[in-house]
Amino acid sequence: MLSIYAVTSVYAQVESEHLQELVELSARRLVIAEQVALAKWDNGMPVEDASREDHVIGSATKAGQSRGLDPTSVSNFFRAQIEANKLVQYSLFAEWYREGRAPDHTPVDLAGTTRPELDEVDEALIAELAQSKVIRGSASCRTDIAKAVGKYASTHKKQVSPLKAIALDRGLATACIGPLR
pLDDT above 80 for 180? no
Average pLDDT over residues 37-50: 97
What pLDDT, on a 0 to 100 scale, did the predictor assign at position 8?
44
User: Is 27 inside a domain boundary?
Assistant: yes
What pLDDT, on a 0 to 100 scale, did the predictor assign at position 172?
97
Average pLDDT over residues 78-106: 97
Q: How confident is the model at residue 17 (pLDDT cuts 50, 70, 90)?
A: confident
- CA–CA dist 136, 156 (Å, integer): 24
User: Is 29 inside a domain boundary?
Assistant: yes
Q: Which of 50, 85, 46 is nearest to 166 (CA)?
A: 85
User: Is 121 inside a domain boundary?
Assistant: yes
pLDDT above 80 for 3? no
pLDDT above 60 for 13? no
Its domain, for residue 157, covers 18-171
Q: What Å distances lie between residue 129 and 101, 110, 126, 164, 181, CA to CA?
A: 38, 26, 5, 21, 20
User: Is 3 inside a domain boundary?
Assistant: no
pLDDT above 80 for 5? no
Residues 134 and 15 sit within 8 Å (Cβ to Cβ): yes
User: Is 11 inside a domain boundary?
Assistant: no
What pLDDT, on a 0 to 100 scale, did the predictor assign at position 14?
53
With pLDDT > 70 as the criterion, what percentage of the chain qualifies? 89
The count of structural domains within the chain is 1
- pLDDT, tens digit, 9 for 90 and up, residues 110-163: 999 999 999 999 999 999 999 999 999 999 999 999 999 999 999 999 889 999
User: Is 82 inside a domain boundary?
Assistant: yes
User: Is 155 inside a domain boundary?
Assistant: yes
What pLDDT, on a 0 to 100 scale, did the predictor assign at position 54?
98
Average pLDDT over residues 37-54: 97
CATH number of the domain to which 160 belongs: 1.20.59.10
pLDDT above 70 for 27? yes
